[in-house]
Amino acid sequence: MKKRKAYILMIFVFMSSGVGEMVHSQNACLINGLGDLRFSDASNGLNNESKLNNEIRITSGINIITAGQAVYDEGGSSITASKGVTFESPNLFIEGQEALINTDDETAILKNTHYFFSDIPARGSSEEFRIEEDNQFILIKPTYTTCNQLDQSWELIADEILIKEDEGEAKNIALRFKNIPVLFLPRLTFPTNDDRKSGFLVPSFGSSSKRGLEIEIPYYWNIAPNIDLKTTVNWMKKRGADMKSELRFLTPKQKVFIELNHLPSDDLFNDDRTYSRVNYQFNPSLNTQIEISGEYASDTSYFEDLSQSTNESSRTHLARDIVFKSFGKNWLMNIGMTNYQMLDNQPECLAIEICDQDDPYRLKPYMNFNGNWQSKESNINLDVNAELISFDHFQNKGGKRIRNRTTLSKIFNFSGIKVKPSIGIDYAKFKADSIGFRPEHIEADAKRTIPIYSLDVRANLIKISNDDDIRHSLQPRVMAVHIPYEDQSDFPFIDTLMPDFNYFQLFNENRFIGNDRIGDTSKISYGIVAKRTRIQSGKDLIEFTLGQTLHLRDEKIGIPGDSLRNSGSLTNLASLNIAMTESLNLKLDHYWDSDVDQLKRSQIGIEYRNSKSKHLNLSYRFRKQSIKQLHGTFSWPIRNQWSFIGHYKYSIKDRKTIDQFFGLNYETCCWSISAVSRKHLIYRNGETDSSFSIQFMLKGLGEFGTPINRLFEDGIFAYDES
């Protein structure tokens, strides 16, 4: 907003520069700092005055100044422009009744002005717009609003605004809503350049069952051009006053962020509550980097009691990392350590997907190296992925693991069909530590050397319609993989997971994520992606994906909770996204396995979006032995500017509402108000939290209350604020 205020100043800069002489002849053109000055019907008056009748037009770059009449007093070195003075630029339009310009001291007064910012949009007025010496500007009785003239619901008014090169000052500024004063400040300062300025930010307020009524008041400290601090006092009726500080520090080689929250003597917890977070990044050179990050919470229930987000309250551990990175054109190396603070030793499996899991291993220290080299002439690729890790665990065994995977591949291009054969060797060795562990927990050293063979064939076929409006694309792909069996039971599970199965995972060589297990397999995967896209807008009218994997032999390597597939079994997936109309979209996604002859994952969703105000989402999600949920979100107009908004998520499996909020929204072109009531699962034991939020927004100025988009982003998957 401070940049837009600068537009107001531009008129005076142009009007007060280079108006020191005038040629007394009809239809003259003057180039003297202003660019192009055009006038007609000039006449000499008494007392050394020159009177210019009809329209006067001054052009300076992209800015245009016009006036109906001008009188130039050579003795007093002044110009009086009258009969309508206007200033036009691409983003600003100003009109005034009269302008008085003194060409000696380069000062000016523009009376009874009205201005309009087209890019905001916003408008306002002032009784006088003065240019003083040293590039200072004074606005007498100014106003500002983003409302149109037919509905001026709110406006800012002031007695006087003084604008300098680096700072502005307003006296007796007031905010009026529906002609009622709602805020008054005897003095307000603001920056007029890109520099930041210390001061209070917009407060927020709300209420919840676990915190009670709460009010947040933030203050911004501009310590230095590269250092700032935001301090927020969050008063909660049920718990007390929480102090939150966020420090940022930036140099050409360093970036620091430090957050510290402290709640002294929580009234419900009966103890101090503290949370801290540090992110530090240092770049000693162009190809090296040091990163330090970590979090700390004073107790295991900190996020459940004090967070406002389901994602935050479900956290089970906090990571702490230090890593040194070095990289070149074709390689990246990391050396570091990782530790954790556990927040819950035995989390229960609930509908919000918090399930029993082992505590993560601490990696201290570790080193990994990734490199890729490609020959442009022969299209031969060499990939190297190596690591050395020392790890331990609070309950299980610790040890060291060394691993290296080297892959050699070549790409053949046959008229748009790419064929990529590859062969790789995966070597790993694990050595258990004996210190601090009972003998029955110690296993023999483990080794493995496993070859990996694959052949990948893909194509991308494109056809454009005759009218150049629609693009049809077809992307078939076939991949064969063979990985022989080798016993890996002596390797502990440190970082291996079974990923969510999707189209990209269909064409991965290893069915696991992590380095503890290499899945034995002989399989052929094949799939196709077909799209019909409108070229001008980029919108996919239809996208169809179909994939299948044929397993050619029984699997023997698995992880806990994972079922092994038999020879001849099929793994299938299919998805369809279709724009049924301009407003209605349908999405289907299914994954099933022939071994059990049932769905493992399914999702059905329908979206209706008729305009900015009409939006409806309905979906059903299913994941075997984990999730069975119904989702619904909507924003629907009910009368004039009123709309009904809501979100509902229900777990059929647990027979429990996970999250729900409903509210009303009233919106005009320049202001809006929203009220939302929410109840959602927040504690691991299944307890819920109820809250009520109000947001009042003056468009172009700011918002007051609890930002409603926080609830939308937390409760609605892929929420789009626009």
- In 393-501, at which residue ranges do the beta strands (DSSP E only) sit? 399-410, 412-414, 417-432, 446-459, 461-464, 470-483
Mean pLDDT of 494-498: 84
pLDDT band, very low/low/confident/very high, at 307 (cuts 50, 70, 90): confident
pLDDT band, very low/low/confident/very high, at 719 (cuts 50, 70, 90): very low
Mean pLDDT of 214-230: 94
Element holding 312 (H helix, E strand):
helix 310-313
pLDDT band, very low/low/confident/very high, at 105 (cuts 50, 70, 90): confident
Residue 467 CA to residue 154 CA, distance in Å, equals 50
* Closest to 171 in 3D by CA, of 182, 183, 157: 157
Whether the predicted pLDDT of 111 surpasses 50: yes
Integer distance in angstroms from the first to the last C-alpha of the chain?
A: 20
pLDDT of res. 109 = 86
375 burial via Cβ count (<10 Å: 0-12, 13-18, 19+): exposed
- The chain-wide mean pLDDT, for the chain, equals 83
Residue 433 CA to residue 315 CA, distance in Å, equals 30
Mean pLDDT of 2-6: 37
Distances (CA, A) of 684 to 38, 267, 299, 623: 76, 22, 15, 20
Whether the predicted pLDDT of 348 surpasses 60: no
Q: Could you tell me what percent of the chain has a pLDDT over 70? A: 84
597 burial via Cβ count (<10 Å: 0-12, 13-18, 19+): exposed
Whether the predicted pLDDT of 101 surpasses 70: yes
Which of residues 46 and 396 earns the better pLDDT score?
396
Contact at 8 Å (CB) between 692 and 206? yes
* Closest to 70 in 3D by CA, of 30, 115, 38: 38
Residue 254 CA to residue 559 CA, distance in Å, equals 42
pLDDT band, very low/low/confident/very high, at 186 (cuts 50, 70, 90): very high
Paired residues of 585 in beta bridges:
579, 607
Residue 663 CA to residue 106 CA, distance in Å, equals 56
Listed ranges 458-462, 494-498, 558-562; the one with the highest mean pLDDT: 458-462
Ramachandran angles phi, psi of 703, nearest 5°: -130, 150
Whether the predicted pLDDT of 113 surpasses 60: yes
Whether the predicted pLDDT of 606 surpasses 70: yes
Residue 55 CA to residue 27 CA, distance in Å, equals 11
Mean pLDDT of 659-678: 90
Whether the predicted pLDDT of 86 surpasses 60: yes
Contact at 8 Å (CB) between 214 and 234? yes
User: Identity (one letter) of the amino acid at 526?
Assistant: Y
Whether the predicted pLDDT of 32 surpasses 60: no
pLDDT of res. 291 = 97
pLDDT of res. 91 = 77
Whether the predicted pLDDT of 351 surpasses 60: no
Listed ranges 364-368, 375-379, 541-545, 655-659; the one with the highest mean pLDDT: 541-545
Residue 590 CA to residue 608 CA, distance in Å, equals 21
- To 5 degrees, how large is the angle CA 389–CA 395–CA 398? 25
pLDDT of res. 1 = 38
pLDDT of res. 43 = 52
Condensed to tens digits (0 to 9), the pLDDT of residues 454-482 reads: 999 999 999 999 888 999 999 999 999 99
pLDDT of res. 203 = 86
pLDDT of res. 324 = 97
Mean pLDDT of 573-595: 91
Residue with tokens 């090296």: 288
Least confident residue range of 67-81, 255-269, 511-525 = 67-81
Contact at 8 Å (CB) between 241 and 261? no
Look up residue 132 and give its two tokens: 């003083």
Listed ranges 380-384, 651-655, 705-709; the one with the highest mean pLDDT: 380-384
pLDDT of res. 133 = 77
Give pTM, 2 decimals: 0.77
Hey, CA dihedral for 346, 349, 353, 358, is it positive or negative?
positive
Tell me the longest C-alpha to C-alpha distance in the chain.
114
Contact at 8 Å (CB) between 202 and 707? no
pLDDT band, very low/low/confident/very high, at 551 (cuts 50, 70, 90): very high
Whether the predicted pLDDT of 261 surpasses 80: yes
Mean pLDDT of 248-267: 96
Residue 501 CA to residue 652 CA, distance in Å, equals 23
Whether the predicted pLDDT of 75 surpasses 80: no
pLDDT of res. 347 = 42
Whether the predicted pLDDT of 597 surpasses 80: no
Whether the predicted pLDDT of 556 surpasses 70: yes
Mean pLDDT of 240-255: 96
pLDDT of res. 712 = 57
pLDDT of res. 514 = 87
Neighbours of 337 (CB within 10 A): 14
Contact at 8 Å (CB) between 657 and 641? no
Half-sphere exposure for 150 (CA within 13 Å, toward CB) = 2
Mean pLDDT of 424-438: 77
Whether the predicted pLDDT of 643 surpasses 50: yes
Element holding 4 (H helix, E strand):
helix 2-15
pLDDT of res. 7 = 34
pLDDT band, very low/low/confident/very high, at 231 (cuts 50, 70, 90): very high
Whether the predicted pLDDT of 360 surpasses 80: no
16: left (phi over 0), alpha (psi -120 to 50) or beta: alpha
pLDDT band, very low/low/confident/very high, at 48 (cuts 50, 70, 90): low
Element holding 329 (H helix, E strand):
none
- Supply the DSSP symbol for 305: H
Mean pLDDT of 290-301: 95
Which of residues 312 and 642 earns the better pLDDT score?
642
Ramachandran angles phi, psi of 434, nearest 5°: -100, -20
For 494-557, the three-class secondary structure string (H helix, E strand, C coil) is CCCECCCCCCCHHHCCCCCECCCCCCCEEEEEEEEEEEEEECCCCCEEEEEEEEEEEECCCCCC
Listed ranges 147-151, 310-314, 659-663; the one with the highest mean pLDDT: 659-663
Contact at 8 Å (CB) between 336 and 365? yes
Condensed to tens digits (0 to 9), the pLDDT of residues 137-176 reads: 888 999 988 888 888 899 999 999 888 877 888 899 999 9
Whether the predicted pLDDT of 357 surpasses 60: no
497 burial via Cβ count (<10 Å: 0-12, 13-18, 19+): middle
Residue 172 CA to residue 158 CA, distance in Å, equals 5
pLDDT of res. 44 = 54
